[in-house]
Amino acid sequence: MAVKLAVIWIHGLGDRGSSWRGLEDDAELPGVKAKWMFPDAPTVPVTCNGGARSTSWFDIEDIPVTQDAKDYPKDIEKSVTRIHAMVGDLEKEGYASNEIVIGGFSQGGAMALQAVLRYPKPLAGVCCCSGWLMMRDSVGTWANGANKDTPIFWGHGRSDNVVVFALQQIGVAALSEANFTKVTAKDYATMHSTTDQEHRDIGAFLAGTCKA
């Protein structure tokens, strides 16, 4: 019987889920029956776009995103609720919580961290690509201990000019302080994008989360 895995992939600001469908092929998972989901964010006014409407999981005040970025807790909670509902639907389909990974790029990577760390049952893993840890100063209070041992993959471009590279190190340190220590952090010679190597690394990470 094939090992099964469900992956919910969260896109970035102004994007659509469909633009990430190529990752399904790039992240080769031989012997794994994988179900991929690529949801779209709602279209809302975004501050960094001068109030213009765009697909967005939460508001962003400024680009580039730096360590001083403003957080929008109500927006975050609303999107977390939506993503958790997707996880709940997968569980109703027969997936155990530890057969479900949430990942994403940029704003989506930041959202994936929030969704996994707040889930009340252990999930299989989280992929944060070029994202950041929001509300990091209080992570110990809002994160759920159920995912303390959940593996985290965090990839980031060293020349990122949209979400600054330093946010990877800062985020990993904040997670460690809150005892979320199963983090694999990798950096790549790119700007605000993913690379073929990162896609292969994501595939290897996903394969490693599968339960035989």
Please say if the pLDDT value at position 179 is more than 50: yes
Beta partners for residue 152, in sequence order: 126, 183
pTM: 0.95
The whole-number pLDDT of residue 155 equals 98
Residue 140 · residue 167 · CB < 8 Å: no
pLDDT in tens, 91-138: 999 999 999 999 999 999 999 999 999 999 999 999 999 999 999 999
The whole-number pLDDT of residue 32 equals 86
Catalytic residues: 106, 160, 192
**Conformation bin of residue 14: beta by default, left when phi > 0, alpha when psi is -120 to 50:** left
pLDDT in tens, 74-94: 999 999 999 999 999 999 999
Please say if the pLDDT value at position 208 is more than 80: yes
Please say if the pLDDT value at position 1 is more than 80: no
pLDDT in tens, 23-75: 998 988 878 889 999 999 999 999 999 999 999 999 999 999 999 999 999 99
